[in-house]
Amino acid sequence: MATAKHILVINGPNLNLLGTREREHYGSDTLAAIEARLAEQAGRAGARLDTVQSNSEAELVERIQQAGRDKVDFIIINPAAYTHTSVAMRDALAAVGIPFVEVHLSNIFAREAFRHQSYFTDLAVGIISGLGARGYELALAFALQHSKQS
Ligand code: DQA
């Protein structure tokens, strides 16, 4: 029997404040509520879902390296502010070679110029930006169907 698909959802700095933080950009769902919906969605599909949020770049790099050792099948990542700054997280994703989708709650291309640049997009399978919390669910639906070959 095939082993259950293992998916990791990574959220970067300040996303622990979802629900109260700049709701005009990020909506009113808490991260806990978003993660609970994702857990349900993964559970229905018989997949294993892990989640992590950290405000620390070093911790996020370590977690990506750990995903490589754990042979995680797919990553969904909202690097938050590190989207625009982190060569270290980009290099970690390139090193482990795990396919990933980049998610942003807001449309980063419709905001300040410094948010238009991402260190992740060219390595990503794809990007979802501006669909709010729904973006995570759509990314997970994709991840659940994504085969190792594709
Ligand atoms: C964000 C967009 C980033 O520019 C910002 O720094 C965030 C959240 C988003 O989900 O829209 O913290 O990644």
pLDDT at 99 over 70: yes
- Helical pair 57-69 and 87-96, crossing angle rounded to 10 deg: 0
Ligand 1 pocket, mutate which of 20, 22, 115 (most atoms under 8 A from CB): 115
The C-alpha atoms of residue 35 and residue 31 are separated, in whole angstroms, by 6
Cβ atoms of 115 and 79 closer than 8 Å: no
pLDDT digits (tens, 9 = 90+) for 35-67: 999 999 999 999 999 999 999 999 999 999 999
Q: What would you report as the CA-atom Rg of the chain, rounded to the nearest whole angstrom?
A: 14
pLDDT at 87 over 60: yes
* Residue whose entry in the numeric block shows the structure tokens 């989640």: 51
Paired with 11 in beta bridges are 53, 78
Taking alpha carbons only, the member of 8, 28, 22 closest to residue 103 is: 8
pTM of the entire predicted model? 0.96
> Is 26 in the active site?
yes
